[in-house]
Chain A
Amino acid sequence: MKNKNHAHAHARLEQNKLKDENVMRRRRITLKDGRYMIFYTFEGESSAPADEGKAIPEPQPVNEAEDEP
């Protein structure tokens, strides 16, 4: 059931992506105490340096692209 739900959500996200000019990028790190932290930046508007905006693989992908509009 989860897969069906999120396939639908993913389809919507992908549909949005095609229409959007500013791609959302996410970069996930692990803090020293083991908690995760996800930095979201938006292409073309981000305050992040260009080389930090590159997406990295997610340990637990959730039927989503790294770039989500």
Chain B
Amino acid sequence: MSELRWNPLLGEWVATATHRQNRTFLPPKDFCPLCPTMPGGFPTEVPESTYDIVAFENLFPSLRPQPEPPSIEGTELYPVRPSQGVCEVLLYSPRHDTTLAQEPIEQIDKLVRVWTNRFAELGALDYVEYVFIFENKGEAIGVTLHHPHGQIYAYPFIPPRIARELEESHAHQERTGHCLLCDIIREEQRDGRRIVAENDSFIACIPFFARWPYETHIYAKRHAQALTDFRRDEQRDLAAMLKMILAAFDRIFNLSFPYMMVLHQRPTDKAEAYDYYHFHIEFYPPLRTATKLKYLAGSETGAGLFINDTLAEEKAAELRALIEPVVWAKEAGSSES
């Protein structure tokens, strides 16, 4: 059973999805449901292996295009609504033993293009108001399947975290006449201490207000609202920036670094109404040392005040020292010839 229940205390929706209790949980590698079905092997969810990236509806979705009616009747205080939307899985590779960080930049570039296509297609659905692209990586985050993959939730409303960013961005625009994130980029460039990496189109930093020790943001230098705004050269620069950051993450503790990666874009309805918003990607890695996790405990969860045990300036310097330039295969080939 799944439905959306209104939380009048916070003024936001909560999704129930009781069927997700039964989803596959950390199966052995030989029984990965996201690997391609092999001749004579057990039938997985993916019947073919001849793809670069594959997108499909989640077998255990929190939101469905044709949802069942709510299991309970709502009231004036407690409205309920069907959990209509789409939950997709994106497989980054047919190969099980890889991660986005380990993939060549060309594959990450393909992912950026697929993201763009999924954003446009899902955003066109009448019942979708916001397309949220994300990846949960690592058991520390709670992944249940190790096959390299990300997810997309196409929500029937603007989710609360995005709504708050939109409100703050709009208020800043009204107050100053400037884009909030453009001002943040200028501030970070002026200070310099928190910048991790930069290329022609994107800049990465651990922001002044980081909640997590290695929280890293990637900002588009050009004032753009969504993936569909980017030129081809900007798509390639985004792939390059992602590769640099992800590879540096893995070098911090010489392990496959867990993280949540989220893309913050404009809502998909009334796009022109969100010209003040600014595309960016945020990473929330849960590790604070090689063996210690940053937990969301009483203050973070119950009050909303994050306690960061580190300084963004120090962590940015640490991560910046681990950045290595990326090389495209064609460029590497041409330099060898």
If A12-B228, A13-B116, A16-B235 touch, does A39 touch B271 (CB 8 Å cutoff)? no
B53 touches A40 (CB 8 A): yes
B55 touches A40 (CB 8 A): yes
A10 to B119 Cα, complex, angstroms: 11
Question: What per-residue 1/0 map shows which CB atoms of A31-69 lie under 8 Å from chain B?
Answer: 101011111111001111100100000000011100011
A41 to B45 Cα, complex, angstroms: 18
Number of interface residues of B (CB under 8 A): 39
Q: In terms of DSSP, what is the predominant structure of the interface of chain A?
A: mixed
Question: What per-residue 1/0 map shows which CB atoms of B226-238 lie under 8 Å from chain A?
Answer: 1011111001000
Interface size class of A (residues with CB under 8 A): 35 or more
Which of A4, A42, A48 has the most chain B CB atoms closer than 10 A to its own CB?
A42
A14 to B129 Cα, complex, angstroms: 24
For A10, the chain B residues whose CB sits under 8 A away are 120
For A4, the chain B residues whose CB sits under 8 A away are 271-272
A33 to B49 Cα, complex, angstroms: 19
A62 touches B50 (CB 8 A): no
In the complex, 19 of the A-B residue pairs with CB atoms within 8 angstroms, ordered by the A residue number, are A1-B269, A4-B271, A5-B268, A5-B271, A9-B123, A12-B230, A24-B113, A31-B56, A33-B59, A37-B57, A38-B55, A38-B56, A45-B110, A46-B51, A47-B49, A47-B50, A47-B51, A64-B121, A68-B116
Nearest 4 CB-CB pairings of A with B: A37-B56, A9-B228, A48-B50, A35-B57
Q: Interface on A for B, CB 8 Å cutoff?
A: 1-2, 4-6, 8-10, 12-13, 15-16, 19-20, 24, 26, 29, 31, 33, 35-42, 45-49, 52, 62-64, 68-69
